Amino acid sequence: MPWEPDGYFDRKARADQDAKPCADEGRAHRLEARRFYRAAPPYRIQFEINGTVSLCQKHYQYWEHLFPEGATEWLPISQHADLEEAERRLRHICGPMIYYDEEGRMTRAPGRAKPAWNMPPDDDEG
């Protein structure tokens, strides 16, 4: 199901918010801007006037004089000649890491050392 900016409110959450009066109108505006930001996808592909395609990432910048949706900005992170290139870049950013062995076959990720969890070093660790 595609993301639609008009449908970002959960009806139950919106009803709960309407039931509770908000003393600070600016606070309600900020909360609505944050809700919109959280509901928006992290990346979008945007077609430019000059015929190129931009891959954009969302950023939050609140201005109280704008609509709540205006706090979600889409900053271009790369420009591409066509949609396929932009989609390939997005898959590269969002896709999982793939590991290969010496013969070029896909394999599991190498084992990681367990975190020390801020433990003091042992005598042999210095």
pLDDT score for 1: 40
Report d(CA 97, CA 89) in Å as an integer.
Answer: 14
With 70 as the cut, is the pLDDT of residue 29 above it? Answer: yes
List pLDDT tens digits, range 35-53: 888 988 999 999 999 999 9
Return mean pLDDT, the chain: 78
CB 36 within 8 Å of CB 61? no
Q: Mean pLDDT throughout 96-110? A: 82
State the helix-helix crossing angle for 11-19 and 25-39, rounded to 10 degrees.
170
Average pLDDT over residues 109-123: 63
Q: Which two tokens stand for residue 94?
A: 């969002």
pTM of the entire predicted model: 0.58
Most confident of 1-5, 44-48, 63-67: 44-48
Choose among 78, 16, 82: nearest CA to 52. Answer: 82
Give Cβ neighbours of residue 75 (< 8 Å, ≥ 6 apart): 56, 57, 58, 59
